[in-house]
Amino acid sequence: MKYNRFLLLLICNLVIAISIYGQKTVYYPSKVVKAQYFRKTLPLREMKVILPGDRDRSWKDGIIRNEENIKSANIKDDDVLYPGEDPVLQDYDGLVLHRGPILNFDGVGNVNGVIPPDTDGDVGPDHYFQMINLSFAIWDKEGNKLFGPVDNSTLWNGFIGPWTGTNDGDPIVLYDEMADRWLASQFAIFTSSGTFWQLIAISETGDPLGAYYQYAFEFPTFNDYPKFGIWPDAYYASFNMFGEYNRAATAAFDRDRMLEGDPDARMVLFDLPPGSDPFSMLPSDFDGTPPPQGTPNYFVYFNDDAWGYSADQLRIWEFRVDWNEPAASTFTESIILQTEPFKSQLCDAPRWQCIPQPNTELKLEAISDRLMYRLQYRNFGEYAVMVTNHTVNVNNTGIAGIRWYELRDYLDGNGWSIYQQSTYSPDDNSRWMGSIAMNGNGTIALGYSISSDTICPSIRYTGRSPEAPLGEMNYTEIEVISGLGSQGTYHRWGDYSMMSVDPVDDSTFWYTQEYSIGGWKTRICSFNFGPIIPPTVNVGPDTTICINEAFFRDPIAENFKNVFWTTSGDGFFQNPKRLKAAYLRGQEDINNGSVDLTLSVYGYLPGQTASDQLTLYIDSLPFADAGNDTIICTYNQYTLHGTAGNYSSVLWGTTGDGIFNDATLLNATYIPGTADTANGFVELFLTAYSLACEDSSISTMTLWFDPCFGIDEYDPASVRIRIFPNPNSGVFDLEVANIESKQLEIRMLNTKGQIIFNQLLTNFTGQFSKQFDMNLLEKGVYYIQIRVDGYSSTRKLIIR
């Protein structure tokens, strides 16, 4: 039985050797079709957007569907050539220091409640465009958000077809440098007709907020894991196709016609037959100088010898499209490049669930069976370059590292070769989900995810200068952002990230990747490997917060590696090691009314430190006092005596129809209205507004109106009249003192002048005191009139 299996394996390898080395495999198109649907949109800034949010995603539990690579899912043999130790391992960090990120800010978050994000983005002359599952946003190159986040389906809103209502994911966005246009795409697989589509939007101009040409191309089965590359003669793409059998597909889209908004734009599709070797390929995507005229687009993938191959290898295919005779287009195997040995399988768990995290048994997927996006191409005139990477098992330890390659074609007819290769793994942490690119100076940047039992999923990058020894990332590793929590519930991570190069200077790198704070978030950063500049920081002006508020500030800092916030008070920062930290004030801060906060930033060299300080004022609650209730003669004006504290402004108000001479003054004058005097009273309220907050304090006083009856009003200086309490519920005490009279008369009147009570005393001297019980009277205004020797004095009585 062992002999038969060995013979079968030998025969299979012989067949492969004949097809590969005897004659190159050539495929011809399986389909040439026009776009089934086309439409031009309004400018994006004017379009009706579809706001992100959770949808009915019961068909995938919020998980973006991706099938497994049939090769890695059916590993039969060990890595027969793997030596146990990686012969090109870089197990140390680079020593060349550099300035670190220029911009560093959060991208689109998980606003649709899905996993994974499939983080992708590209940079143009004036914009950065990020597109993830299942939303996108656009920033200027200062990091200011101009648009979004909105659902990706916004780009195809109003584009009616079987995909209407879908927003299925696996997005790609690329900037077409030659044409100054943007390409955005995602698949539509859960359609009303059960058909499968690739939706593509091409911007009409270089403005990503402008109008788009919408295209839809139908596929024979599920077109999974689409990856695009820009080339002068076409937009090229690769797919993993799933249906009755699994296989790969490649396609060329009619770039010239799509740029013109031609509804007859075509697609040349190679739906490779079952049993064919290519799977999870990447098309080449050029930056900078275009490739020489007539250069085919290159598709690359790797094979692990554990999958039944004679050696670990990169395989390169050539896609030559002929738009004059599309059926004559070819997809041809070009060359097999044997790599230094590697092992792609990290562990025995399904779907590569091998990446550890702190404080959880749940491990993340490594997706170590394929090259990571992009396959970047550059033309340097004398030679061409492609750079790519994938995840490997470092020295069979289960630690994930990144194997990266620089391929070169010296344009002399001998084709591609491996110029340099290395596995980057400077410590015992796992690095995976990489993206690599080279700028116009020949500098390489490699970004990736990092995680371990002690490091939550975070983002870092490293790089290589052109003069560095081959296979060495000689720049020190930089942390873009540190994760704050492990991902729970789901194993999915990725499925890709993207490193791009600024087309303006052809030097600055832009990178987007995900990290974890317990759930995933995305980050965008720009950087170059320029010389180290001392750090600078500006925390901004002093400010005031409300007593119940937390303090947030987004300082401006540059050229720093780490930061730390400190306080002179008893409050605390939620995360003092974050540039944008939140401060929660303490009781001592409140008592003092202010606290000094200091931000220190630390550069990339020892001793490089800068700091800046601000004073945070704690706004105490305002208070207001409108003064005591007061009685005035009817139709008289009244000068108020309000007081307030901890306020920025005050404002008087009235329940009646009177007016203030200036309602913003504490000592404003109130001029009663006719309704006020008719009612006999009016309530006036004073509002004090906080210095910096929405808090306010309101106090109310009542102004009563006394008609002041009679022309004989007289109050001898020696006579004292007291009513208490007043106002009252009908029970009150009346005191009249210092009386020297032959006759004392006490009257109680209503507002109509009718006498309700009357008492006459003759030959009375000294003090009169009596308690009255008038609680049977209606509530309202009454008057107590004291008549002494023909003169009278009136006091207002209020029964509530």
Q: Which of 583, 643, 648, 597 is nearest to 621 (CA)?
A: 648
Average pLDDT over residues 195-211: 98
Average pLDDT over residues 297-319: 97
pLDDT greater than 50 at residue 6? no
pLDDT greater than 60 at residue 374? yes
Q: 3-state SS of the chain: helix, strand, coil percent to 5?
A: 10, 45, 45
Q: What is the pLDDT of residue 786?
A: 85
Q: What is the pLDDT of residue 622?
A: 87
| DSSP-derived pairing of the beta strands 696-706 and 630-633 | parallel
Q: What is the pLDDT of residue 67?
A: 61
Domain(s) of CATH 2.60.40.10: residues in the chain? 536-619, 623-706
Q: What is the pLDDT of residue 369?
A: 95
pLDDT range class, residue 629, cuts 50, 70, 90 = confident
Higher pLDDT, 692 or 793: 793
pLDDT greater than 80 at residue 673? yes
- Give Rg (Cα) of the chain: 41
Domain(s) of CATH 2.60.40.1930: residues in the chain? 720-799
DSSP symbols for 408-423: EE-SSSS-EEEEEEEE
pLDDT greater than 70 at residue 788? yes
Q: What is the pLDDT of residue 680?
A: 76
pLDDT greater than 80 at residue 668? yes
- Assigned token pair, 357: 């995290």
Q: What is the pLDDT of residue 7?
A: 28
pLDDT greater than 60 at residue 583? yes
Average pLDDT over residues 399-424: 98
Report the alpha-carbon angle 543-545-549, nearest 5: 145
pLDDT greater than 50 at residue 9? no
Please provide the CATH number assigned to the domain covering 720-799: 2.60.40.1930
Q: What is the pLDDT of residue 562?
A: 85
Q: What is the pLDDT of residue 79?
A: 57
pLDDT greater than 50 at residue 380? yes
pLDDT range class, residue 737, cuts 50, 70, 90 = confident
Architecture of domain 25-44+66-527: 7 Propeller (2.130)
Contacts for 727-731 with beta carbons within 8 Å, 24 or more apart? Answer: 727/629, 727/798, 727/799, 727/800, 728/797, 728/798, 728/799, 728/800, 729/775, 729/799, 729/800, 730/773, 730/774, 730/775, 730/776, 730/777, 730/799, 731/771, 731/772, 731/773, 731/774, 731/775
- Residue-wise pLDDT tens digits, 14-55: 223 233 444 789 999 999 999 999 999 999 999 988 888 755
pLDDT range class, residue 800, cuts 50, 70, 90 = confident
Cα–Cα dist 29/321, whole Å: 10
Average pLDDT over residues 295-302: 99
pTM of the predicted structure, to 2 decimals: 0.72
DSSP symbols for 673-734: -HHHHHHTEEEEEEEEE-SSSS-EEEEEEEEEEE----S-B---TT-EEEEESSSBSSEEEE
pLDDT range class, residue 78, cuts 50, 70, 90 = low
- Kindly indicate whether the domain formed by 623-706 is annotated with CATH number 2.60.40.10: yes
pLDDT greater than 80 at residue 343? yes
pLDDT range class, residue 271, cuts 50, 70, 90 = very high
Q: Does residue 564 contact residue 577 with C-beta atoms inside 8 Å? A: yes
pLDDT greater than 50 at residue 696? yes
pLDDT greater than 80 at residue 715? no
Specify which residues 336 forms β-bridges with.
315
Domain(s) of CATH 2.130.10.10: residues in the chain? 25-44+66-527
Task: Report the residue count for the chain.
Answer: 800
| DSSP-derived pairing of the beta strands 594-602 and 609-619 | antiparallel
Q: What is the pLDDT of residue 705?
A: 82
CA distances from 118 to 237, 546, 715 (A): 17, 41, 91
Average pLDDT over residues 737-758: 81
- Residue-wise pLDDT tens digits, 425-435: 999 999 999 99
pLDDT range class, residue 533, cuts 50, 70, 90 = confident
Q: Which uninterrupted H or E stretch holds 15? A: helix 2-17
- Assigned token pair, 623: 């208070």
Q: What is the pLDDT of residue 648?
A: 87
pLDDT greater than 60 at residue 711? no
- Residue-wise pLDDT tens digits, 540-557: 999 988 888 899 998 999
Among 137-141, 567-571, 618-622, the range scoring the smallest mean pLDDT is: 618-622
Q: What is the pLDDT of residue 80?
A: 58
Cα–Cα dist 485/488, whole Å: 9
- Residue-wise pLDDT tens digits, 461-504: 999 999 999 999 999 999 999 999 999 989 999 899 999 999 99
Q: Name the amino acid, one letter, at 440.
A: G
Using left for φ > 0, alpha for ψ between -120 and 50, and beta otherwise, residue 478 falls in: beta
Cα–Cα dist 390/586, whole Å: 50
What share of the chain in percent tops pLDDT 70? 91
Question: Domain 536-619, what fold?
Answer: Immunoglobulin-like (2.60.40)
Average pLDDT over residues 568-572: 96
- Residue-wise pLDDT tens digits, 130-177: 999 999 999 999 999 999 999 999 999 999 999 999 999 999 999 999
